Structure 1
Amino acid sequence: MPHAFSDLSAFRRDPLRFFLSRGNGSAERLERLRLGFTPLYLVVDPSLVKPLLKAPPAEIDKGRLIHKLRQIVGKSSLTISGEEHARRRRAIHGQMAKGVASTYVGEISALYRRTFTGLLREGAFDAHKVTAPLALRVVCTVLFGQGVLGPVEEGTLIRAVHLVEDDLADGMFQLVPSPRAVWRKRRNLAKAKSMMAGVVDRARRRASPGSLVHQLHQLGLSESDLRDEVLMLILAGHHTTGTASAWVFWHLAADPALAARIASEAAGLTDAGGELDPSRLASASLSLGFTREILRLYPSAYWFSREAMADTELGGTRLKKGTSLLVSPWHMHRDPRHWPEPERFDAERSHATPAYMPFGVGPRACVGIGLAMLEIQILVLELAAAFDIRAETSAPSLTPKASVTLIPPSLSVRLAVRTIARRNEPPAFPPLDRRCEQAA
C-alpha cells in the first residue's frame, strides 16, 4: 500500500532512474509521486509544460523547491517572480540575446584555441575539468568584460561551487537531517558564499562599461540584490554549460566519421583569415544538430519545479494549493514515445518537438540560451576542425551524477592534431600553429 514517503528511497538512491521509470512507465499526463506529505506530481505530457510555465503567478509560480536555492543565490531572478523578475530578465536578455552573444564568437574561439594548444602537451585529461573553467571564463567575460578575472579568482569560484553543490542537491527532498549534517552544510554554505562574494565584489570594481554588470547596476538594485544576481549568473552560466560541454569531447571521439563531416562543415563557415563567421553559424545544421543532441541527452537542469499558489487545474487534474509539479527534461528527452531509440546519440535527428526542453520552453525559457548554444557549437566546430580525439574512458561507466545539475563522470580523452584527409583536401581551418598565433 503506497504511503506519503513510499517513493523517497528510490528517488534518493537514483533520481535519474526514478524519473525515467515513473515518467516512461506512466499512462497519466501527471504522475503522482510520494516524496512527502505535500502533494507532488511529475509532468509526463510535454504539451503541459508550456501552459504550466505561462500560468499566472497567482495560480502557479516558483515555490518552495526553487526557493531552497536562495540559500546560495538569494533573491535573484532565478528565485523571484512578478514584475521585478521581468525587469531584471529584460536587462539580462538584452546582453545575452543571440545577436549580442554572437559578438563574442572571436573571443570564445581564441580562448578555446589557447586551451587546446596547452592540452596537446598534457596527454590524457578529464574533459569536465577543462570545460568548467572555460565556461566560467566565457560567462565572466559577458558579465565583467574580457580578462577581468584571473586564474586564481576563477579557481576560487569553482572551488566554492563544489563546496555546496552536493549539500544543496541532497537537501531538496530531505526530511529530517541530522544536526551534524545541518551544521556541516551551514558551514560549507557560509564559506562558499564568502569566497564567491569576495571575487564578485573585486570583479565588479574592475568591470568594463559595456558589461552586463553595468546593465544590472542601472536597474538601481541594492548591493545585496546585485551581488545575488551576479552570483546566480556565474553559477548558472558556467555550471550548466560546463557540464554539458564535457560530453562534446566524448561523442566526437566516439564517431570519427561524424567529426570529419563537422570539420568539413567548419571549412564553409570561415572568412578569408580562417576565423568563424558569426553570420554563418545559424546555417551550420550538423554542428547545431550535434549541439542540440548533447543537450537532449545531458540536460544540465535535469528537473525544475513549480507550485500551485491556489486551487487550480492542469491537464484535467485538480491541484490543491501547495501542490508541487516537477518537470524533468532528463525524462522528457529519453521517453521512447517522443524519440526513436532515445539512448542513441544522433546529431541529425529532429529536435522540433514539445518534448525537447533543455532550457525550458516559451517566454520563461532560460535567458542564457543563446550564449550557451553558441559556446557549445563553437566548441564542436573548433575541436572537430583541428583535432582527432581519442577517448580513454569505457562506455559502461558513462553515467552522470545527479547534483544541482548533471555532473559528468570522469571522461578521459586525448587530443592529437587532425591529419589532412584524402584527395589532398585543404584543412578546414588554418594550420594549428598559425591559429595559435592568431589566438595569442
Structure 2
Amino acid sequence: MRHWFSDLVAFRRDPLAFFLDRGSRAGSPLERLSMGPGEVFLVCDPQLVRQILKAPTADIDKGKLIQKLSAVIGRSSMTLSGEAHAARRRVLHHQLARGLAAGYVPQISALIRRQAAALAHETGFDAHHATARLTLRVICTILFGAGALTQADENLLIEAIQEVEDDLAADMFRVLPHLPWVARAKAVKMRAARDKMGIVVTRARTRAGESSLLAALEALDLSDSEIADEVLLLLLAGHHTTGSAAAWVLHHLAQDPELCDEIAEEAEAVSDSAGEPLAARLPAATKSQALVREVLRLYPSSWWMSREVQRPLELGGQKLKQGASLLISPWHLHRDPRFWEHPERFEPARQHNGPAYIPFGSGPRACVAMGVGLLELQLVALEFASAYLISSAGGPVDRPRPSITLIPPALPLRLAPRLKSTPMNRAWAT
C-alpha cells in the first residue's frame, strides 16, 4: 500500500537507480513520487524539462530544495531569483563565456602541464584527487589571477567541503526535523565549515591581481558577504563539477589507448610550432570535444536539479498546486533507453545535441560557467594525451556516489611519457 513516504526508502538506498528506474518506466511526462506530504514529481519528458527550465519565474522558480544549499553558498546566484539573480548572471556569463575564456588557454594549459608533470613522477594517483585540485586552481586563476590560492588554502577548502556535503545531501529530502541536539550539532558543524571556506575566500581576495571577474562582481556594488558568497560558489563549482568530469576524462583515455592516440594527434594539429594550443583552432578539435560531451552524458556532475511551482498551473497534462516540487535528473535523462541507443556504453561518436542532453541545464538559467568548463575539460584531454600514455592502475570501477554533486569513485591511474616527439609534448619540457 502506497503512502506519503513510500518512495523515500528506495530513494535513500540508491538515488541514481531510483531516478533511472522510475523515469524510464514512467507512463506520463510527470511521474508522481511519494516523498512527503507535498507534491513531488520527476519530470520524464525532455521537451517538458526544457519548457520548465525556460518558464517565467512567476510560474516556476527555484524552490525549497535549492534553498537548502544556502547553508553553505549563502545568497549567491545559485539560490537567488529575480533581478538580483539576473544582474549577477549577466556579469558571470559575460566573463565566463567560452569566447572570453579562450583568453585563458595559456594559463590553463600551464596549470595542467605542471600538475601532470608532478603526477608522472608518482607510481600512481587517484584521478579525482588530482583533477579536483587542478580545476580549483584554474577557477581561482580566472577569479583572482595566478597564485592567489596556496596549498594550505586548497587543503582547507577541500576539507570544509567534505565535512558538510554529505550532510547537505542527506537533509535535502528529509521530511521530519532532526532532534534538537542533532540539529544544533549539525548547525555548529555547518558554521565551522563555512567559516573555513570564508577564510580561504578572504585570503584569496587580498592576494588578487587585476581580475576582470572579481572586478566585475565588485562593480555591482555588492556587500563583502555577497561577493564572498558568489566567489565561494564559483570555487566550489570549480572543485566539484569540472573536477569530477575531468577525472572521468582521464579514466576513459586510460580505457581506450586508441582514442588517446587520436587525441594526441589532434593536440598536435591545434598547436603552434612551440607546442602551445591555439584557442582559435580548438573548435576544430572535434575528437576531444566529443570525448568531453560523452563523459558529461554518462557522468553529469549535477545529477539532479529542482524547480517549484509558484502558482496553480497545468503542466504535462496534470494540474499542479502552488509549491509542487519538480525534480529533473540528467542522470536519468542521459541514460534512458528511450532517448539513447545503448545508453550505458561509452560512445563519443554519438550525437549530443538532442533534448535529453542537459549536463549544464537549459534555457536562460543554464550553468553560467559552461563555456569555461568545456574549455578546461578539452584542454585536460589534449594536454594529457599529447604528452603521456595513460593506464589504469586498478580493477573494476564502482559507480559514482551521489551527493550534492556526483562524486567519482577511486580511479587509480598511471602516466608514462610518450616516446614520439611532437610540438606539444616538447613544450612540456620548457
TM-score by length of 2: 0.97
Partner of 2:353: 352
Q: Does 1:94 align with 2:94?
A: yes
Where 1:89 maps in the other structure, the secondary structure is helix
Q: Mean Cα displacement is larger for which, 172-181 or 92-101? A: 172-181
**Does the aligned pair in 2 maintain the 1:385–1:428 contact within 8 Å?**
no
Shift of 1:428: 6.0
Letter in 2 for 1:42: L
Shift of 1:376: 0.5
Distance 2:139 2:182 in 1: 32
Distance 1:100 1:137 in 2: 18
Distance 1:430 1:164 in 2: 40
Partner of 1:370: 371
Q: Does 1:71 align with 2:66?
A: no
Partner of 1:392: 393
Partner of 2:323: 322
Distance 2:382 2:185 in 1: 43
Shift of 1:146: 1.3
How do 1:258-337 residues align onto structure 2 when only pairs under 5 Å count? 258-337=259-338
Shift of 1:83: 1.0
Partner of 2:30: 30
Partner of 2:384: 383
How do 1:167-316 residues align onto structure 2 when only pairs under 5 Å count? 167-176=167-176, 177-316=178-317
Distance 2:129 2:369 in 1: 22
Identity of aligned residues (%): 52
Q: Does 1:427 align with 2:422?
A: yes
Shift of 1:217: 0.6
Where 2:428 maps in the other structure, the secondary structure is helix
Distance 1:314 1:77 in 2: 26
Distance 1:292 1:326 in 2: 23
Distance 2:179 2:60 in 1: 32
Q: Mean Cα displacement is larger for which, 233-242 or 284-293? A: 233-242
Shift of 1:180: 4.7
Summarize deviations over 1:93-120 as a string: whole Å, max 9, x none: 1110111111111111111111111111
Aligned residues: 429
Distance 1:22 1:180 in 2: 36
Partner of 1:18: 18
Partner of 2:148: 148
**Does the aligned pair in 1 maintain the 2:273–2:423 contact within 8 Å?**
no
Letter in 2 for 1:45: D
Distance 1:193 1:408 in 2: 24
Summarize deviations over 1:301-335 as a string: whole Å, max 9, x none: 00000000110122222111010000000000001
**Does the aligned pair in 2 maintain the 1:113–1:436 contact within 8 Å?**
no
Summarize deviations over 1:255-305 as a string: whole Å, max 9, x none: 111111111111110012110010111121110000000100000000000
Where 1:337 maps in the other structure, the secondary structure is coil
Distance 1:180 1:14 in 2: 28
**Does the aligned pair in 2 maintain the 1:266–1:428 contact within 8 Å?**
no
Two-structure CA RMSD over aligned residues (Å): 1.2
**Does the aligned pair in 2 maintain the 1:114–1:436 contact within 8 Å?**
no
Partner of 2:52: 52
Q: Mean Cα displacement is larger for which, 236-245 or 404-413? A: 236-245
CA pair 351-149 structure 1, distance change in 2 beyond 3 A: same
**Does the aligned pair in 2 maintain the 1:145–1:211 contact within 8 Å?**
no
**Does the aligned pair in 1 maintain the 2:387–2:428 contact within 8 Å?**
no
Shift of 1:205: 2.2
Q: Does 1:81 align with 2:81?
A: yes
**Does the aligned pair in 1 maintain the 2:335–2:343 contact within 8 Å?**
yes
Distance 2:138 2:344 in 1: 30
Q: Mean Cα displacement is larger for which, 373-382 or 186-195? A: 186-195
**Does the aligned pair in 1 maintain the 2:386–2:425 contact within 8 Å?**
no
TM-score by length of 1: 0.95
Shift of 1:393: 2.4
Shift of 1:17: 0.5
Where 1:306 maps in the other structure, the secondary structure is strand
Distance 1:409 1:370 in 2: 26
Letter in 1 for 2:363: G
Partner of 1:423: none
**Does the aligned pair in 1 maintain the 2:143–2:211 contact within 8 Å?**
no
Q: Which runs of 5+ in 2 are unaligned?
A: none
Q: Which runs of 5+ in 1 are unaligned?
A: 421-425
Distance 1:241 1:180 in 2: 36
Q: Mean Cα displacement is larger for which, 146-155 or 126-135? A: 146-155
Where 1:436 maps in the other structure, the secondary structure is coil
